[in-house]
Amino acid sequence: MAQSLNTTVLFQTTGVSYADIGSKVGKFLIGDKAIEFYPDTNVERYIQIPWGNIQHIGANVHGKTISRHFEIQTDSGKFLFASKDSGKILKIAREKLGNDKVIKLPTLLQTIGKKIKQVFAKSS
């Protein structure tokens, strides 16, 4: 039986986890102690990430639009998620973690440009 780490739930929404091969649709519970994801198909395959274990959380931002995809970097690895309410999730994360741990992720073009610069820097 899945047991929540949170004592109070601040926000609940639906979303997708890309943690395993393929994706899983389920529910996010954002609470006072952790971010939790419970898949609809099998709630026993839940993901619980305590606030203290999060190194940073981020999403792509285009103007004032926040991407529905976001990632959480922890001590044990990276978790990729998507939700229509990613902006609200990031806002709660900012309250819990502080401004320095909520970041803007580089866009695809920025990532490609960085790789090209690295290739040319090595060849020089």
Q: What is the pLDDT of residues 96-120, one digit of tens each?
A: 999 999 999 888 888 899 889 888 8
* Helix or strand (DSSP H, E) at 38: strand 34-39
Other CB atoms within a 10 A radius of the CB of residue 61 amount to 15
* Helix or strand (DSSP H, E) at 50: strand 47-50
Q: What is the dihedral of CA 17, 20, 21, 22, to 10 degrees?
A: -20
Which two three-digit tokens encode residue 18? Answer: 């890309």
Kindly list the structural domains of the chain, giving each domain's residue range(s) and its CATH number in brackets, ordered by start. Answer: 9-123 (2.30.29.30)
pTM across the whole model? 0.83
The per-residue pLDDT for range 11-50, each reduced to its tens digit, is: 999 999 998 788 999 999 999 999 999 999 988 999 999 9
